[in-house]
Structure 1
Amino acid sequence: MSSSGISPELFPTKPEQRIVGTVGYTLMILSMTITTSIFFLGWISQVLGLSLAQTMVAALIGNGVVAAVMYLNGYVGVKEGIPFPIQLRTAFGTKGSILPMVVRMIVSLFWYGIDGFIAAWAMTEMALIVAGWPADRIISEGLAYTPITFVLYLIAVAAIGTGKIKSIKWIDSIAGPLLFIFFAWFVIYMTGIPEFSGKVIPIWEGGAPWFGSEFFWATAIQTAWWGTIALNVSDICRYNKSVKSLPVGHVVGLIIPQIVGSAIGFTATYLAGGNLSPIDIIAKYSPMPALGALGLFFAFLATSTTNLTGDIPATTNAVIRVFRLSWNKALIIATIIAFFIGPWWYVQNSIGMAYQLLNFNWYYSMFLGPIAGVMVVDYWVVRKKRIIVEELYKEQGIYYYRGGVLWAGVGSFILGIVGEYIASLFQGGFYYAFGIPLPGLELAWYYGFIISGVIYYIWATVNKSEVLVENKLHQ
């Protein structure tokens, strides 16, 4: 295998490296899924005016779609043992694959900053509880102190990250479930607090219509939340023993926790009035300060370990592959950028954080859908699961195409985004983020997935000789 310029870490996994079974993969996905932010999804739905049932259905649809795409993209990783950057080469070309990698890198950077900020927020309120502050003061002033803890957090994370994060995965495996159990108990406890005794959870009707704009918005957020990992799931599952582990891992590790976590977050934030985050709720309504500090410690631990084992490796590896830097240099650069991405400089209150998460997920979904559409159609429909792995690693192999770019893939990705803008002209216009017009489509991910996938199929069908390069080796 010719692999000039390719890191050995990107080589196909060997049989002796296939050590992850169904249980192991399920636990891996589960530990990744359960963080503090999972409860924010229910909060976002409550802010949008949905009912509990609408929240759970939106979670089922959004995460069901993500799980399906994870299976379709993960199948390649398990079968061939290749990671995401190499997998992209069939649909985009050796050089063209840099484009979707950069998109994935940018999203990872944002999650590094936002997850880190949430972890620092939990750490701040935990410290203030220990310091003896009253709950109302913690909630009103906690965010103001979070930039300080955010800096300390990022310094600590970078220090741990320079060791390439090998020793804390077991903590991640237990921190998430501990937080889940604690918050589930906490919601049950809240229902018994006298001030909430008269509140009735809106199970079926919450104010927003079924299948209206707000419902589609919530579905889009649920899809985008883990739509990132749906692209590079091969980085994780290429160590699996069998593709049979994928459906179980995605249903038990992703779909069910997301539905239950969203329901728990919805119930807690509804009882508390809708303006407080799950972090604030723990700080304010815990029966005693020690329990509040413990719950916030679980929140900090679950989010920070996921930050360390999920966000940072994905971000740093992408920076390494795009800019060819060392691990430590890439990590330092990513950490500095994450600091400025963290919403400390423009989020003034808890409800502002809810809208920040809502808008952030919605905005980046418009780029991820087209990439997913091209990847799925390329492998399953156009190539019919037939690729030549050895050629993916050759500097001038068949997947180099012309000039290193497969324009069918790159062009379809771009046209998918253009299609989202065109659709917005007929469905409500545009939204603006920092002066940049963005498609006003609640289901932008779905539009992009379908448009790019269809265009790629047509393009590849018309130009079979350009796309189906595997045939050249058998002529």
Structure 2
Amino acid sequence: MSLADPAEATGISPFVPDPRLTNADLAPAGSRKWKVFDLFAMWMSDVHNLGNYTFAAGLLVLGMNAWQIFTALLVGFVVIYAGMNLMGRVGQRHGVPFPVVSRISFGVWGANIPALIRAVIAIMWYGIQTYLASVAVNVMLLAAAPGLVSWTHHSFLGLDALGWASFLTLWVLQALIIGQGMESVRKFQDFCGPAIWLVMIALAVWVLAKAGWSISLTSTPHPVPRGEQFRQWFGAIGLILATYGTLMLNFCDFSRFAPDQRTVRRGNFWGLPINSTAFVIVSVVVTAGSIEVFGEAITDPALLVAKVGNTWVLVLGALTFAIATMGVNIVANFVSPAYDLANVWPQKITFKIGGMISTVAALLVTPWNLYSNPNVVNYFLGGLGAFLGPLFGVIMVDYYWVKRGRVDVDALFDGRPGSRYYYRKGVNPRALWAFLPSAAVAAVLALVPYFGDVAPYSWFIGTAAAAALYAALGRAERAQALPTALAEV
């Protein structure tokens, strides 16, 4: 007797995924090649960037000393580690990316709401990060070859010729890597994460040597009262949570390729509380060393490298910052919109096409003009960013508390009325009722100057509010799921 499809043998029609909801990229992952080192290297690529360096160094200037910065960000990274494990378990267990995971709580069509919010934020920051890296490269190119200053005399659409050359070079390199798919992303992360560490350690050794191997870790260039130090300490934790809340939301995009949950936890452990905290230490030590050597806190590593005065060091620095930006951009700002846009129209948009749409959009918005406009960065991107915490709260409570981790993966690709995740016209109204008011509160706290003291905690407050609201609204569904859960024990 030949082997046959069990459904065919019983006369039952096999399940056929709705083409409006699936393609090869959105379907559960078949190949699971991401090991502990791949996830560890991914975190190195995401953490080792100009933004995180400047963030940690800036805390020293604000009045915190090195030990306070170290402990605050260690606590923050431990919390982030726990959140990444929660989302990572969902992706690894079911093998689907973030927009498909969102269907569990928001509905098969309602999932486009969190997916598109995440996509817009990622596309904007993709362009901005590429621009910031091009600026760092320009600083070092001008220091190495002063004759290039003639390229800065004329501008087009707000950017001079040197700026265009650097930006487009980084933009094309990223597009080439991205166009090869997730396997190419994995291989790139494995290379660039460790490479950046080597350069950062070399920079730290150079600064320490210039400072006579004596740097104070308990002083700060701008001392503040003890009460203000405590406020800054908790504020640093809140801000680092908000920073990584973007990737915490869609970490399942990566964990879906891991062979087991132990791999996800170990990769996250070495990449977050261990590696990320170590990078903070190096960033603060280098900044503290710049105070000893140059009499001022240099929080931009590109400016610090430019002070070395060696052409080859400048070239190496330019390459390093370019690689660092490509690493964080691919992890945090490319993979998500590639999947998110594919989810909107799976029949026409694949992961690669979604990625190309994202890269083109990131160029068309002229990110240098966005970045130079504080209103855009603070109110538009900041406001949208405040929505990510409530989305995380709804998705986590729905998966772990309401549905108790029991998901019908086939039903995530079923768009027929009455299917498990169809809810009401494809949208779960309870998810919207929990998300919308919580997002509004988080946005107000993040943007209105009157609430400046609690602004660093807007992500946490929005997450907690959405989680509590959805838990209250989902009690009936949870009660209905209890008999099934008990029967499976």
- Fold-level match, TM-score > 0.5? yes
Cα drift, residue 184 of structure 1: 2.3
Contact between 1:2 and 1:395, CA under 8 Å: does it hold in 2? no
Contact between 2:134 and 2:166, CA under 8 Å: does it hold in 1? yes
Contact between 1:43 and 1:265, CA under 8 Å: does it hold in 2? yes
- Match for 2:203 among 186, 189, 204? 186
Contact between 1:387 and 1:470, CA under 8 Å: does it hold in 2? no
Q: Separation in 2 of the partners of 1:374 and 1:267? A: 39
Rate the CA distance shift 1:356–1:410 in 2: closer, same or farther, 3 A.
closer
Rate the CA distance shift 1:443–1:371 in 2: closer, same or farther, 3 A.
same
Partner of 1:42: 56
2:460 corresponds to 1:446: yes
Rate the CA distance shift 1:70–1:160 in 2: closer, same or farther, 3 A.
closer
Secondary structure, aligned partner of 2:163: helix
Partner of 2:435: 413
Q: Separation in 2 of the partners of 1:315 and 1:306? A: 14
Rate the CA distance shift 1:357–1:261 in 2: closer, same or farther, 3 A.
farther
Contact between 1:75 and 1:243, CA under 8 Å: does it hold in 2? yes
Rate the CA distance shift 1:63–1:342 in 2: closer, same or farther, 3 A.
farther
Contact between 1:109 and 1:337, CA under 8 Å: does it hold in 2? yes
Partner of 1:95: 109
Cα drift, residue 101 of structure 1: 0.7
Which one-letter code corresponds to 2:208 in the other structure?
T
Contact between 1:109 and 1:315, CA under 8 Å: does it hold in 2? yes
Q: Separation in 1 of the partners of 2:233 and 2:376? A: 18
**Which structure 1 segments of 5+ residues have no match?**
432-438
Partner of 2:263: 245
2:363 corresponds to 1:339: yes
Partner of 2:73: 59
Contact between 1:116 and 1:304, CA under 8 Å: does it hold in 2? yes
Partner of 1:227: 245
How do 1:135-174 and structure 2 match up within 5 A?
145-158=162-175, 161-164=178-181, 167=184, 169-174=186-191
C-alpha distance after superposition, 1:325-363 (max 9, x if no partner): 545764454234323656523767xxx99x999999865
2:398 corresponds to 1:378: yes
C-alpha distance after superposition, 1:78-126 (max 9, x if no partner): 1222221111111111111111111111221133112212321233233
How do 1:15-414 and structure 2 match up within 5 A?
17-132=31-146, 145-158=162-175, 161-164=178-181, 167=184, 169-193=186-210, 200-202=216-218, 206-207=223-224, 209=227, 212-270=230-288, 271-272=290-291, 273-274=296-297, 276-284=299-307, 286=308, 288-308=310-330, 311-322=333-344, 326=349, 330-339=354-363, 344-345=368-369, 363-396=383-416, 397-414=419-436
Cα drift, residue 243 of structure 1: 0.7
Q: CA RMSD in A?
A: 3.8
Contact between 1:179 and 1:302, CA under 8 Å: does it hold in 2? yes
Partner of 1:12: 28
**Which structure 2 segments of 5+ residues have no match?**
1-14, 153-158
Name the count of aligned residue pairs: 452
Cα drift, residue 440 of structure 1: 5.4
Secondary structure, aligned partner of 2:259: coil
Contact between 2:124 and 2:367, CA under 8 Å: does it hold in 1? no
Which one-letter code corresponds to 1:12 in the other structure?
P
Secondary structure, aligned partner of 2:386: helix
Cα drift, residue 400 of structure 1: 0.6
Q: Separation in 1 of the partners of 2:273 and 2:376? A: 24
Rate the CA distance shift 1:470–1:155 in 2: closer, same or farther, 3 A.
farther
Which one-letter code corresponds to 1:118 in the other structure?
L
Q: Separation in 2 of the partners of 1:307 and 1:406? A: 32
Rate the CA distance shift 1:245–1:331 in 2: closer, same or farther, 3 A.
closer
Contact between 2:384 and 2:443, CA under 8 Å: does it hold in 1? no
Which deviates more, 415-424 or 38-47?
Answer: 415-424
Q: Separation in 1 of the partners of 2:182 and 2:98? A: 20
C-alpha distance after superposition, 1:222-263 (max 9, x if no partner): 112222221111111112121112222112112222212122
Q: Whose radius of gyration is greater, 1 or 2? A: 2
Cα drift, residue 428 of structure 1: 6.9
